[in-house]
Structure 1
Amino acid sequence: MKIGVPKEIKDQEFRVGLSPNSVRVLCDRGHQVSVETQAGTGSGFTDEDYQQAGGKIVTSATEAWEQDLVVKVKEPLKQEYDYLKIPKMLFTYLHLAADKELTKALISSKITAIAYETVELPDKRLPLLTPMSIIAGRLSVQFGARYLEKQQGGRGVLLGGIPGVCAGTVVILGGGIVGTEAAKIAVGMGAKVQIFDINVERLAYLETLFGSRVELLYSDASSIEKAVPKADLLIGAVLVTGKRAPTLVSKELVSKMRPGSVIVDVAVDQGGCIETLRTTSHSCPTYVEEGVVHFGVPNMPGAVPWTATQALNNSTLPYVLKLANEGLEVLEKDASLAKGVNVKDGVLIHPGVQEAFKDLTL
């Protein structure tokens, strides 16, 4: 199969869909891989690395898109919509529930769009979302700690405190992978940490990880309303597969937070779980509303592309191989990969996306 790897154009998105190692594996199995020039530079991969792996370097995005299967990292932006009618398949993160325009463009193109984030195993795990969730969870605290610095607009709080001065408080909404990884970093820094989740079994599991170092609380409106105003750093880590994230923190509640507190909403690419949160970028990552610093970068792992690209490829390559070897027919055999299909032949397929756009008209 002919596979294309365009250069990512999202703001400061330095990851790349396929690493040279992945290209080598695909080429060794008889596939042709066309990589847009400098697509891997941000991750530390040169054009020569791809050529040595057997890939072909092409000089334009159009050439990378003129293939049977296009493998990316982030969703196509408006500048790329015209390309969607070219390939048969697109394999990338899509997060359509929060992006009506892209959803409409994919439907109009009649492409088969498979989203990494909705590929789902029988036990409900999301294997292609997991590596980036781990990275985003860990980065959420790193970024939060940075923006708590006074020079960045924050309260001037050191999360770990020091002897004689209390540590900062980190409140995490959601105890899944993102929330768990955020808690690990926050605990490591010495912060006071609270995790809220609606799954009691998950909370019990988290107790085996953290013991008494983290306060584990059932997530309800009353409990959240008590905790949020006391947070130095509030992290949104809510995920409902394929669906728009529910709003758990209102603007009114944000207004009760102390000036200079920080919000990092990792759920921003699914619409966010905090009412005042809107999408930002690595170039302009924060804004202040209700006196609180908001960080809403949807491609947080793009900040650590050397790590993130390799982590992503470790998980996506087996699925890329299946698509390359068998084409669309593999969707009839692989139920997990089939759940990744969001749009096919001009029709919305994934239930979560269908729910988000019940009244969608082209």
Structure 2
Amino acid sequence: MDFGLPKERTSLKIPPALGEEVQEGRVALTPQGVRELVARGHRVYVERGAGERAGFPDAAYEEAGASLVSREEAFGRGEVVLKVARPTLHELALLRPGATLMGFLHLAVAETGLLEAMAEKGLSAIGYELMGEGPRRPILKAMSEIAGRMAPQIAGRLLEAPLGPGMLLSGLPGIPPADVVVLGAGTLGRAAARAFLGAGASVYLLDKELSALEEASREAPGAITALITQSRLERYVAFADVLVGAVAVPGERAPVLLSRELLARMRRGSVLLDFAIDQGGVAETSRPGIYQELGVTHFCLPNVPALVPRTASHALTATLLPFLLQVEDDPLKVPALRQGAYLLLGQKGGHLE
């Protein structure tokens, strides 16, 4: 088959203290991944510069057997187009009718008109966040693990002056560490809990499922665990220096757990890391970006692994490639890929019913 690998162009403006903007630098396949596909007889068309932000030069893709092409060709020649971020309407216009589009799509929170444009073109749309075998979603798990491990370094910087109150996560002898409350004990929440414990913070981990908390207790034995109730939310949010939103339902909008009234009880200068922003966010105040509202610094950056594009691209290839290598003449014949389908040749799949 013909695979297209375009360059990502999405970016998000952020406060000057953290740099001017974050650009999506991940690429769905590293040169090593391309080499494996080519060895199976597939053709791969890589847009020039697609891997440069992740440290993969064009020459490496050429050596792997890819053809370097223009933006239009990367979209137009691919029977299967491997993106990372959700496509824009302009990018959809470049796709051939009936093509298969893959990426982190999160169509439950997509902008108006995008789904309709996909359907009109007869596209099959497969979300990495839904792909897998049964409940196992290895691509989503890998990206969630990265985001969770990054949480302390992000929170630590936002707690620094001038953005934050000038607090050290770990504290010092005689000076208490930061209190971190993590909402959600899935892959991301557990990874964040382990990382914050390693950074010396006090960690409280909340979830609605006792089984998830039992697993979290084994992985992060220093964390205090509790079942989520409204009274506990009110109590824990009030003393949190860092609040981590790690609650998500694959294929659906994230549940809104934090009202404006609840966030208004947080300490001034405290931090909300809303890692569920890709699926709408866990707070009424959440929207894409990094900003202050109600005295709380909101970190609501979609696709946090884009901050480490090289590591994330390696992880994406490692988890995506085994499924792609099962493709012969139709990706929808591969059960793990079909499980991730929002659209099948323009028709809504189960995730949009």
Contact 1:3-1:68 at 8 Å conserved across structures = yes
**2:119 matches 1:107:** yes
Shift of 1:206: 1.5
Q: Deviations over 1:322-351 (max 9, x none)?
A: 23x1314514xx2x3221000123222133
Q: Does 1:190 align with 2:200?
A: yes
Superposition CA RMSD, Å: 1.3
The Cα of 1:127 is off from its aligned counterpart by: 1.2
Q: Distance in 2 between matches of 1:176 and 1:309?
A: 22
Residue 45 of structure 1: aligned partner: 56
Tell whether 2:270 aligns with 1:270. no
Query: Residue 283 of structure 1 aligns with which residue?
Result: none
Greater helix content: 1
Assess if the C-alpha contact under 8 Å between 2:240 and 2:270 holds in 1: yes
Q: How does 1:226-265 map to 2 (within 5 A)?
A: 226-265=235-274
Could you list the runs of 4 or more consecutive aligned residues of structure 1 that deviate by over 4 angstroms after TM superposition? Answer: none
For residue 222 of structure 1, what is the aligned residue in structure 2?
231
Q: Structure 1 residues 329 and 312 mapped into 2: Cα distance closer, same or farther (>3 Å)?
A: closer
Asked if 1 retains the 8 angstrom alpha-carbon contact of 2:101 and 2:125, the reply is yes
The count of residues paired between Structure 1 and Structure 2 equals: 340
Counterpart-to-counterpart distance in 2, 1:229 and 1:215: 16
The match for 1:300 is 304
CA distance in 1, matches of 2:83, 2:332: 21
Q: Which runs of 5+ in 1 are unaligned?
A: 281-285, 355-362
- State how 1:256-335 maps to structure 2 within 5 Å: 256-280=265-289, 286-323=290-327, 325-328=328-331, 330-331=333-334, 334=335
Q: Are 2:114 and 1:118 aligned?
A: no
Residue in 2 aligned with 1:349? 349
1:72 maps to 83
Per the alignment, in what secondary structure is the counterpart of residue 330 of structure 2? helix
Matches of 1:237 and 1:184, distance apart in 2: 14
2:118 and 2:152 map into 1 onto residues whose CA distance is 34
CA separation in 2, counterparts of 1:265 and 1:345?
34
**1:18 lines up with 2:29 in the alignment:** yes
Q: Give me the whole-angstrom Cα distance separating, in 2, the residues matched to 1:329 and 1:39.
A: 25
8 Å CA contact 2:131–2:339 kept in 1: the answer is yes
Decide which of 140, 160, 163 is 2:151's aligned counterpart. Answer: 140
Distance 1:203 1:329, change over 3 A: closer
Which stretch shows the higher mean deviation, 238-247 or 201-210? 201-210
**Structure 1 residues 54 and 85: alpha-carbon distance in aligned structure 2, compared to 1, 3 A threshold:** closer
Match of 1:76, SS state, is coil
Provide, for residues 229-286 of structure 1, a one-character-per-residue CA deviation record: whole Å limited to 9, x for no partner.
1111111001111110000010111111111101111100000111111012xxxxx1
Say if 1:140 and 1:266, in contact at 8 Å, map to a contact too. Answer: no
Q: CA deviation at 1:83?
A: 2.1
1:177 paired to 2:177 = no
Per the alignment, in what secondary structure is the counterpart of residue 126 of structure 2?
strand
Q: In the TM superposition, what whole-angstrom CA distance separates every residue of 1:185-224 from its partner, at most 9, and x where no partner exists?
A: 100011010111011011112212222x111010111111
Per-residue Cα deviation, 1:16-56 (whole angstroms, up to 9, x for no partner): 11110011011111111010001000111111000000000
Give the counterpart of 1:93 among 79, 83, 104: 104
- Counterpart residue identity of residue 247, structure 2: V
* Aligned counterparts of 1:306 and 1:166: Cα–Cα separation in 2: 36
Give the whole-Å Cα distance in 2 for the aligned partners of 1:293 and 1:216: 25
Q: Which runs of 5+ in 2 are unaligned?
A: 12-22
Query: Secondary structure at 1:193's aligned position in 2?
Result: strand
User: Is it true that 1:36 corresponds to 2:39 in the alignment?
Assistant: no
CA distance in 1, matches of 2:2, 2:196: 44
